[in-house]
Amino acid sequence: MKPEQLLGACIRRQAICLTVLGLSACATTTSDSNYALRNNVDAARSRCVEVARSSGYQEVAVDSVERDGQAEWKVGLVVKKDGKDSKENCQYDASTNRVRMG
């Protein structure tokens, strides 16, 4: 391979690598901004109420919200199902956007 061909191949390879790295950086930034939007009291409250309602509770009220780590939240709920009031606990993980009742 001639020196100018070799130089051209190296430049193309660097451009491809930079493009891939640029896309990767964009994806990370988007994911980080979504995480920042989710990691707060309002998001934890909202996600837990949403899951409780979709689990069949007719009335859902938030009793308490506490941070339980860097991205974890504990949400206490007062719920009504079949005419009976009860308390439920909900765990919300902002890093994965997952909610677990119980």
Burial of 48 (0-12, 13-18, 19+ CB in 10 A): buried
Q: Among 35, 56, 45, 23, which Cα is nearest to 99's?
A: 45
Question: Is the CB of residue 90 less than 8 Å from the CB of residue 74?
Answer: yes
Render pLDDT for 10-54 as a digit per residue (tens, 0 to 9): 444 444 433 443 444 434 344 567 888 899 999 999 999 999 999
Locate the domains of the chain by residue range. Answer: 1-38, 40-101
Q: Would the pTM count as exceeding 0.85?
A: no
Higher local confidence (pLDDT), 86 or 35: 86
Q: How confident is the model over 55-73, as a mean pLDDT?
A: 95
Question: Is the CB of residue 62 less than 8 Å from the CB of residue 51?
Answer: no
At the top level of CATH, the class of 40-101 is alpha beta
